[in-house]
Amino acid sequence: MSIEASVNQRLAALTEAGTSVWLDQIRRSLIEGGELERLVNEDSLRGVTSNPAIFEKAILGSTDYDDQVAELAAEGLNARQIYEEIAIKDVQLACEVLRPVWDDAGGADGFVSLEVEPAVAHDSKLTLEQAHDFWNRVDRPNLMIKIPGTEECVPAIEEAIADGINVNVTLLFSVESYTAIAEAYIRGMKRRHEAGESVDVHSVASFFVSRVDSEVDKRLASSGREDLRGTAAIANARAAYMRFKDMFLGEAYASLRAAGAPVQRPLWASTGVKDPQYPETKYVDTLVAPHTVNTMPMPTLLACAEQLEVTGATADEDPTADLNALAEAGIDMGDVTKTLLKDGIDKFVEPFDALIAGVELAREGVVTGRPPTIKSVIPDHLEPPIVERVKRAQAEDVAKRIWRKDQTLWGEAGTPEIADRLGWLTVTDKMLEHAGDLAAFVEEVRADGFTDVALLGMGGSSLGPEDIRRSFGDIPGAMRLHVLDSTDPGAVLALEDALDLQRTLFVVSSKSGGTVETLSHMRYFHEKSGGDGSRFVAVTDPGSPLVDLARALGFRRVFENDPDIGGRYSVLSYFGLVPAALMGVNVEALLQSAQEA
| Rg (the chain; Cα; Å) | 26
Contact 262, 368 (CB under 8 A): no
Angstrom distance (rounded) from CA 597 to CA 586 = 17
Task: Output the CA angle 245-156-50, nearest 5 degrees.
Answer: 75
Angstrom distance (rounded) from CA 588 to CA 287 = 30
SS3 state at 142: coil
Pairing assessment for the beta strands 292-296 and 557-560 based on DSSP bridges:
unpaired
Contact 47, 110 (CB under 8 A): yes
Q: Which of 57, 89, 125, 146 is catalytic?
A: 146
Contact 85, 24 (CB under 8 A): no
CA distances from 35 to 30, 333, 504 (A): 5, 40, 51
Residue type, 60: L
Active site residue 342: no
Helical H segments across 408-488, by residue range: 427-432, 435-447, 460-472
What phi, psi does 537 have (nearest 5°)? Answer: -130, 155
CA distances from 262 to 199, 255, 550 (A): 8, 11, 55
Q: What is the dihedral of CA 534, 539, 541, 543, to 10 degrees?
A: -10
Residue 422: DSSP 8-state: B
Q: How many helices (H) and strands (E) does the chain have?
A: 26, 13
Residue 573: DSSP 8-state: S
Q: E-assigned strands of 285-400?
A: 292-296
Q: Element (H or E) spanning 167, and its range? A: strand 167-172
Residue 33: DSSP 8-state: T
Residue 273: DSSP 8-state: -
Q: CA nearest 362: which of 44, 54, 69?
A: 69
CA distances from 36 to 6, 68, 483 (A): 15, 21, 45
Q: List the catalytic residues.
A: 146
